[in-house]
Structure 1
């Protein structure tokens, strides 16, 4: 499997493909009603393209399999732990991922496998994922994965703050609307007296005090009443 440099190219040639990809085993072929075929494959190892030949019905590739590298040590263990924790935070913030994403990461004890598993799950440009695929050193791949996640986490955190502000503004608007409607209902029910506007204000004040209202609603009603008093002719 080789990724295209330009996904929009419908008929790619050798120069349109990256030279590092992955060898894969076909697990399932599914023919769809519209005539297209969906192929389920499982990657097995990295491979570098040596030659590419068009045989008419398909492309025939000659590849050189890249043997996986292994790394160990306290630095690797610490980095794996840090990357796993960071991925957990990424999953929490990314609403597009399932809640159980990354559950099995704690069981992965190989640095290269951990980097590849996370790389397959995170959102990244094709060129960024290609950089991960090209890098053979597991420690450097973990560092790349961490860098990509840090950038994505920054975006996700900004999105969360924006959603929070919008939610608070909506709640404030709804609360103010409710209080205004409650005040209108109070004014409608209390009505006015026939002994002049001064007596009417006094009656409204007394009835507001006696009416069972929340602290916020009572404060709003009294504030509106104060405005009404200020509008009275001298």
Structure 2
């Protein structure tokens, strides 16, 4: 006996019975949040369900006969691609970008505000939020790719408006930027401000997160030491390796950047990415890391109105990145004027709204030298450097000794 008293068919068969159709649509929400425990692994069970080669003979332990699921359409949703690779291989990925600020304002005006007025029994003349206040709520009280928290904040305003109308006898409540703190309290988020002045070793990078784009400040400092490289800021493995690659690239071309190679043996470099409580990963901050290290070693400031994104190679090539739309939105929010992107990402600009492209000067680059021309206040001047005579002589002596020993 494979079942127990009171057992029922599995969820898939139950849903088919409920639909009363052989070709329904199944929506599996938040599939990246699945977890396995002692009762089994749902991902393993879904392999058979989602694979079109296998699901025509789906076997339910209760029925103990094969059931054909080949006509069922399965749609799954996820915030990240942190899904078992075997399961991901059986899906077609459709990326849906977060809403822009203008889209959120329109969604709020057409759907969220009317919906909350109806839910709280408010007439049109009793409650209103002007456009500037709505923009302020989106920027300073929410940080998300969707509009769930925005709806929550609008609901909070509607409740407080009802209370004020009933308690104080006012006829209507209008929310403006001047009185918004009275209803929602102090702003919860900093609205991505860029640096106020050109600084040495401070670079504005761009990052993609689950809640949209973010600006990422990368700081570098130099101090007396023995050539040690320190990285901090809750960085994951890929980002740490990106900093190591950036450091190796700068050292390999130090003479071209006007840096004496002997400097690396006498100075320690510390690279820090602020907001240490937030985990950070990915290779797309590579060009920003290189710029920060060169700026620190040469003492040349980095322009405050330039942001950049791109992966770096040891040869100085700039490789493409993902999440371009969200990153450009973050740059626009922060008041950035110029954004440096990899040349191979130019094709992705076709999907970016014209309003964003017109507000930013987007500069495609393929090599690190092009980034430095845009990012630094002035280009570093190359120096001529020869290996110290003592080191060369020592090297020749070693070669000579080894040659004699070999014979």
Check whether TM > 0.5.
no
Q: Name the larger-Rg structure.
A: 1
Q: Which one has the bigger helix percentage?
A: 1
| TM-score in terms of structure 2 length | 0.16
